[in-house]
Structure 1
C-alpha cells in the first residue's frame, strides 16, 4: 500500500482517517468499526464490501 495514498483516502461513511492493516491487507476505520479490503492493490471503499470489526479489533 502506497503511504501517499493513505494521506488522501478517507472512510466513505464518516470521511475519517483510515489505517492500513498490513497483515490483513485492509483499510480500517475505527470510528465506524469497518475494514475495507484491498484487492490487487486497489482499496475497495464500498460500504457493503467492508466487514464489521469485532470489539477486540477496534482496540
Structure 2
C-alpha cells in the first residue's frame, strides 16, 4: 500500500478489507479520501481504473 497512489490525484490511499487469507486481501476496497473514490478488490485483484466521466 505504501507504493500505491490514487490514479486520479496521486494522493494516499486507505485499504478496507472485507475478506482475506494468510497471504492476500480477497475482497475489499482501496479508498482515496481526497477524491472520495472507492476502488474495488475482488478475488484478490484491485481495479484501479479511474471512474469514467459523463456516462
> 1 CA distance for matches of 2:51 and 2:34?
17
Instruction: Specify which structure has the higher proportion of strand.
Output: 2
Gaps of 5+ in 1: 1-5, 50-59
Which one scores higher on RCO, CA 8 angstroms, separation ≥ 6? 2
1:42 maps to 2:45: yes
Instruction: Specify which structure has the higher proportion of helix.
Output: 1
Tell me the TM-score normalized by structure 1.
0.65
SS in structure 2 opposite 1:7? coil
Gaps of 5+ in 2: 19-26
Equivalences for residues 1-59 of structure 1 within 5 A: 6-23=1-18, 25-48=28-51
Alignment size in residue pairs: 44
Tell me the TM-score normalized by structure 2.
0.69
Runs of 4+ in 1 over 2 A off after TM superposition: none
